[in-house]
């Protein structure tokens, strides 16, 4: 008799998932790539006012679902900064390879879900760059990231950080 693997529905409740502190942001893996055969990664990101990564590119496309707050999504087009603003309920799509970032433009913490496809490189980056958080309801105090380590890990996971003047 042949055996087959049966795929199952999974659910990650509010407050669940492996959380990582990356600088002042908490990134919680809600659906790891292993559950999607590597096609997608779903993370919840909680970020303070002004928070967000540097302008960067990576192969994975991203779909952002803003849950709380007000975010700006800068990109570069023809050497000029182009801004997309998105509030709660908005969805923003960033194709793979497009320079982008996000910033919490609100006065309080902001949250979004992001679906990244494919999963592997970004999931690896979050897991290696982040500090595991055992109790997301009571995270440790944020620490400034070691920029040399951050840039090394960015390179390892094929992320290109774009410094001012490099556009």
Question: pLDDT confidence of 103, banded at 50, 70, 90?
Answer: very high
Q: Which helix (H) or strand (E) holds 97?
A: none
Backbone angles phi, psi at 149, to 5 degrees: -65, -40
Distance from the Cα of residue 157 to its chain's centroid: 13
What pLDDT is attached to residue 119? 94
Domain spans of the chain, in order of start: 24-135+143-159
Mean pLDDT of 13-20: 93
What pLDDT is attached to residue 7? 79
Q: Is the pLDDT of residue 3 over 70?
A: no
Token pair for residue 47? 């970020």
Tell me which CATH code domain 24-135+143-159 carries: 2.60.120.10
Write out 104-115 in H/E/C secondary structure. Answer: ECCCCCEEEEEE
Question: pLDDT confidence of 90, banded at 50, 70, 90?
Answer: very high
Give the model confidence (pLDDT) of 148-160 as tens digits: 998 899 999 999 9
Mean pLDDT of 85-112: 97
Q: Which string of b and e fits 101-135 if b means at least 16 CB within 10 Å?
A: bbbbbbeebbbbbbbbbbbbbbbbbbeebbeebee
Closest to 114 (Cα-Cα) out of 143, 75, 71, 83: 71
């Amino acid at each position: 008799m042949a055996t087959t693997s049966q795929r199952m529905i999974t659910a990650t409740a509010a407050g669940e998932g492996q959380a990582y502190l990356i600088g002042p942001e908490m990134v919680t893996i809600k659906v790891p790539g292993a559950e999607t055969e590597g096609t997608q990664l779903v993370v919840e990101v909680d970020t303070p006012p002004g928070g967000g990564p540097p302008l960067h590119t990576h192969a994975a496309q991203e779909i952002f679902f803003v849950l709380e707050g007000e975010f700006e999504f800068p990109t570069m087009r023809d050497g000029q900064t182009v801004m997309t603003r998105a509030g709660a309920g908005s969805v923003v799509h960033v194709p793979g390879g497009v320079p982008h970032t996000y910033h919490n433009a609100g006065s309080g913490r902001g949250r979004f879900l992001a679906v990244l496809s494919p999963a592997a490189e970004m999931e690896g980056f979050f897991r290696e760059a982040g500090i595991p958080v055992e109790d997301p309801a009571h995270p440790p105090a944020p620490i400034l990231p070691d920029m040399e380590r951050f840039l090394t890990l960015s390179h390892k996971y094929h992320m290109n950080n774009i410094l001012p003047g490099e556009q």
